Amino acid sequence: MTNIRNIVILTGAGISAESGIDTFRSAGGLWEQHRVEDVATPEAFARDPELVLRFYDMRRARIQEVVPNAAHDALARLDASWHGGLLIVTQNVDDLHERAGAKRLLHMHGEHLNAWCLSCDERHRWNGTLIDRPACPTCGTSGQMRPDIVWFGEMPYRMNEIYTALNRADLFVSIGTSGAVYPAAGFVREAREQGVRTLELNLEPSQGSHWFDEARHGPATEVVPGWVDALLRQQSG
Ligand code: APR
C-alpha cells in the first residue's frame, strides 16, 4: 500500500470483543439478550426509564472491569507514530481506545462514561449509576440525566468531521463491525466514490464486505497488529 498519507479507521464492537465486552449481533450478543426497542430508543426511555437506566448502568460498570487488548494497543501505536492524517471513528461507547492511548479519536455513538443532563444540556464524566436519579453537577436538577449514547432514531455525533476526513482520505479501514447500522455502514461506499482505497479487518465477512478492495479475516488481536506493524515498517522505509 504505497502513497497512503491520510487514513480513516472505523471500529465497531468486534474490536472490544476479546477484552470481554459483548458484541451486539453475534450469537448470545446484547441484542439477543435485550430487545433494542426496550433499551436503545428515546421511546423506550420515555416508556420505562428504569429498565433503560439499569441496562446502561450494567454496561457502564462492565467496561470498567475490562482492559484494552492488542488491537486497541496497535491502533494507539499507529496514532502515536503515523506522520500523515489519521482519524479513528469508533461506534463503540467504551473507553478502551482512550485507555490504550489513542488521541486522534471520535465517538460517533456517544460514550458510556458520560451522563447528559436534559435540563441544562451539559455532559459530565460519569462512572457511577444513573438509576438513583442523581442531581446534575451543573444545574442541580435531579432525574434529568440520561446515558450519553446515540440511540436508534437519533443523529450520530460529529458527522461533518467524519465526511470531511473521508473526503481527504487515501485509505479507509473498517475493523470489527458488521456493517448492519447506518450511517457507519455507508462509509465504505462514500470512500469508494471518492476513489479511496478500502480494507476490511473483521472476524468474518461483514454485510458490506463486497464493497471493500481487500479483506483480511481473523480475530482483531491478530489481524490489526500485523497490519499496523507492516504500515509503520513501510513508513520508516
Ligand atoms: N475480532 C474481529 N471482529 C470481530 C471479533 C473479533 N474478536 N468478534 C466479533 N467480530 C465482528 C463480528 O463478526 C461482527 O461483524 O465484529 C462485528 C460486530 O458486529 P455488531 O455486533 O453488529 O457490532 P457493530 O457493528 O459495532 O454494531 C454497530 O449497532 O447496536 C448498534 O450502536 C450500536 O454501535 C453499534 C452499532
What is the per-residue pLDDT across 9-48, written as a single tens digit (0 to 9) for each? 999 999 999 999 988 888 778 777 778 888 999 999 999 9
pLDDT digits (tens, 9 = 90+) for 122-146: 999 999 999 999 999 999 999 999 9
Q: Is residue 172 a contact partner of residue 196, using CB atoms and an 8 Å limit?
A: yes
ω into 225 cis (within 30 of 0)? no
Read off φ and ψ for residue 154, nearest 5 degrees: -105, 155
Q: Is 235 a residue whose pLDDT tops 90?
A: yes
pLDDT band at 68 (very low <50, low <70, confident <90, very high): very high
Would you call 107 a catalytic residue per the annotation? Answer: no
Q: Which tens digit of pLDDT belongs to each residue from 162-220?
A: 999 999 999 999 999 999 999 999 999 999 999 999 999 999 999 999 999 999 999 99
Backbone angles phi, psi at 43, to 5 degrees: -65, -40
Of ligand 1's listed atoms, the one at least distance from the Cα of 179 is: 25
Q: At what angle do helices 220-236 and 70-81 cross, to 10 degrees?
A: 20
Q: What is the DSSP string of 125-140?
A: E--S-STT-PBPTTT-
CB–CB of 111/124 below 8 Å?
no
pLDDT in tens, 44-66: 999 999 999 999 999 999 999 99
pTM above 0.85, yes or no: yes
Does ligand 1 have an atom closer than 6 angstroms to the CB of 206? Answer: yes
What letter does residue 142 receive in the DSSP assignment? B
8 A C-beta contact, residue 117 and residue 130: no
Could you tell me if 176 and 12 are in contact, meaning their C-beta atoms sit under 8 angstroms apart?
Answer: yes
Please tell me which residue in 72, 107, 109, 112 is annotated as part of the active site: 109
**What are the b/e assignments for 209-228, b being 16+ CB within 10 Å?**
bebbeebeeebbbebbbebb
Q: Is the pLDDT score of 85 beyond 90? A: yes
Q: Could you tell me which of 181, 182, 186, 176 has the C-alpha nearest to residue 215?
A: 176
Average of pLDDT values for 143-161? Answer: 97
**Helix or strand run (H / E) with residue 178:** none
**Minimal-distance CA residue to ligand 1 atom 21:** 24
Q: Is the pLDDT of residue 80 over 90?
A: yes
Question: Is the CB of 69 inside a 6 Å radius of any atom of ligand 1?
Answer: no
**3 state DSSP class of 117:** strand
Question: What is the predicted pLDDT for the residue at 1?
Answer: 55
> 32, 150, 202, 204: which to mutate for ligand 1, most atoms within 8 A of CB?
202
Q: Is 19 exposed, middle or buried (0-12, 13-18, 19+ CB in 10 A)?
A: buried
